[in-house]
A and B are shown apart, each in its own frame.
Chain A
Amino acid sequence: MASQHPVIGPGHTFASVTDKISSIVLTKKTPVGWFFGFGIAFSLLMMLLATVSYLLVKGVGIWGVNVPVGWGFDIINFVWWIGIGHAGTLISAILLLLRQQWRTSINRFAEAMTLFAVACAGIYPILHMGRPWVGFYWLFPYPNTMGLWPNFRSPLIWDVFAVSTYATVSLLFWYVGLIPDLATLRDRATNRAVKIVYGFFAVGWRGSARHWANYEMAYLILAGLSTPLVLSVHTVVSFDFATGVIPGWHATIFPPYFVAGAIYAGFAMVLTLAIPLRKAYGLEDFITLRHAENMAKVMLATSLIVAYGYLMEAFMAWYSGNGYERFMIWNRMTGPYAWSYWALIFCNVVVINTLWWKSLRTNVVYLFIVSLVVSVGMWLERFVIIVTSLHRDFLPSSWGNYRGTPFDWSMFIGTIGLFLTLFFLFIRFLPTISIFEMRTLVPAAQPDEGKA
């Protein structure tokens, strides 16, 4: 503990923490770099808009999906985005319950990342319905003119419930955490219109002890509720595959393997966002090397679980003695998509294990590169699971190959644009670091140990 980097730079007071974080939002001068980044992100978002418009006109035929690969980029990207979201809830809920003080400066934007990632993920299954405006009756239980109800025995319906609950609870958690900070912005804003807008969302928060008592309890309960929820979400996502009979999907290891992969991918995205953010806004005192190193350790640990999953998939295919299973894994390693399998192993098993060295874990430039490699690796993992399992199924007569069309790619890159657009708006208009929780870390607040 003693030799580690601190969770907050030296010399900070209640006032300096408040002013530093709130000034990023309340400044009149938006940094030029912000406009540059936002411009790129927004252009990509417009590409998504164009793609989706064309998709709705022409139908899902513009994608590369066809028999036998009926689930392509849409499901790959859905799982990829949902997985990324998991780190936000893990940081805000599980690390809160485990009393990990270092979570404090990263939970706010990690939660925002969760919301935006879930928004990106949600687009895919909805659009995969082809005509989403008529397809809702089998997703949500509402009285419709056909008198039909969803089939609750289907994992796809479990997914609808899991993801929509996850999105709602994440939003509530995020908003509750924001209330005291919105009150700070209301009190510090000089422009009357700005004051009114923040004041509206701060709902009249004034830091009353009576309110804090209810607030702290509510926050703790939300953390307790989110903890099993976040583990359930990717478990249910993995059921989409594991309850099917396709070799390569039908495996009991899927739920823990998917949850670990989600946390792994999510922490990579938190690092991808945190490293430029702390540099651009001079937040090195709040997001310190301690945070970078701890996140690297979480990535390393979860990567080992994921690697164990890869190993077990291969082992079980051999040990099962099932010809289809053995063919599946052999085809995965040596077939037409072998490049994706070995690229995945390179990203998620080889590169990540360099983080055993402390000097690399505390090198933020290296961590940034690794985090991008991990994001690519986790995308490839879903590509491998979905495409290599489907393209060679039980009947050789229906074998085929799959590739994403330009529209698949423009939609994928477009959702990255959506994600980044929302994130740029978030860092401009809301405090990226929880101010009231940072106040509990300054030396003046430390006599009262025991803040959860």
Chain B
Amino acid sequence: MSSALYGLLAEFHAPDEIVKAAEAVHSAGYRKVDAYTPYPMEEVLDALHLHETHVPKLALTGGLLGMAGGWGLQYWSSVVEYPMNVGGRPFFSWPAFVIPTFETTVLGAAIATVFGMLLLNGFPQPYHPVFNVKSFATASRDRFFLCIESRDPLFDLQKTRELLRRLGASEVSEVAP
């Protein structure tokens, strides 16, 4: 409806308040909801059912690619591309190849984990509507925020605001898009 609004941002002072509010908002049927907390809170993730993450799959993929790449590089360069007799050892000295392969596996998995996490989170993201609310700067200090977006089908400026007030929000701000 109101496309001139990103959503409503409610501010809370205590960790247990945000947990209760997140639970209440989720059970009221809102789904386009996000919480902003100064530290990771398991209970908020539980309340909003946000535990699903694709990071492990990316880590596994990166690790397998690193493993195949490291092993393949050693095999190709030592056996195919430039076979060289070093001290009579076999060209395909697989026990020796295990160690660099381990390292490239870890490297691939770590790079996939970090950059996968950043990409899944949509980073780098220099602009986001919630930053328009001045008090949001305290979300990285000691305040807890809950945002209901206007694209949620249940969103209604009046009713949603009342709900957030009832849940104990110290302040409910409209977020410009």
Question: Interface on A for B, CB 8 Å cutoff?
Answer: 13-15, 18-19, 141, 147-153, 157-158, 161-162, 165, 168-169, 172-173, 175-176, 180, 183-184, 186-188, 199, 203-218, 221-222, 225-226, 228-229, 232, 236, 239, 436-437, 439-440, 444-445, 447-448, 450-451
Contacts and interface: CB of A to CB of B under 8 A. Distances in A.
B121 A210 contact: yes
A151 B103 contact: no
Given A158-B99, A447-B15, A214 B121 contact: yes
B103 A187 contact: no
B141 A15 contact: yes
A237 B139 CA distance: 45
Contacts of A210: 34, 50, 121
A-B pairs, 5 with minimum CB distance? A204-B125, A14-B142, A218-B117, A149-B77, A203-B124
Contacts of B111: 168, 172
Contacts of B109: 221, 225
B142 A450 contact: no
A15 B78 CA distance: 58
B16 A447 contact: yes
B68 to A, nearest CB: 15
Contact of A176 (B39, B56, B114): B114
Contacts of A448: 15, 19, 41-43
Given A141-B73, A149-B77, A203-B125, A187 B113 contact: no
A172 B38 contact: no
A158 B93 CA distance: 13
A335 B14 CA distance: 68
B103 A232 contact: yes
Contact of A168 (B73, B78, B107): B107
**Chain B interface helix/strand/loop/mixed:** helix
A443 to B, nearest CB: 11
Contacts of A212: 37, 40-41, 44-45
A44 to B, nearest CB: 32
B74 interface: yes
A397 B157 CA distance: 92
Nearest to B146: A209
B100 interface: yes
B126 interface: yes
Contact of A187 (B73, B116, B141): B141
A214 B140 contact: no
Contacts of A439: 38-39, 142
B120 A221 contact: no
A218 B113 contact: yes
A236 B128 CA distance: 46
